[in-house]
Structure 1
């Protein structure tokens, strides 16, 4: 579950769209070595999904997905 609206990015880091707050699906996750910060939260792991703008195979920072710890992969989501 995404706890707030989040920007989606290409694998290379270009912003392309958004993923709205709520229940979403993810294919897998990858450590892209690009830290994303929001308040006291930070993460270098990114979840692969299709965003709400119709972009396929884009990434949203694990910072915005419930259930993880700082700079750690989300439990139960496979690595890409």
Structure 2
């Protein structure tokens, strides 16, 4: 997709952590790929960990992220809110 920001965890790192009770974040047209956490006990998932924050993700892709050997581990939310919107 043209104009999309691509951020990779290089199969070695979580890509993003968003936290804070007064935190509002909107991500537009991003591709978050190949994030990794070594264990499901490592406080979250491969692409994004959201804690006490409100996040909106628009027209984006989250793929190829994993925890240890568990594929599809893209987003972890604890006491936060997430809205995902796709535009065709």
Normalising by structure 2, report the TM-score.
0.25
Judging by fraction of residues, say which structure has more strand. 2
Normalising by structure 1, report the TM-score.
0.26
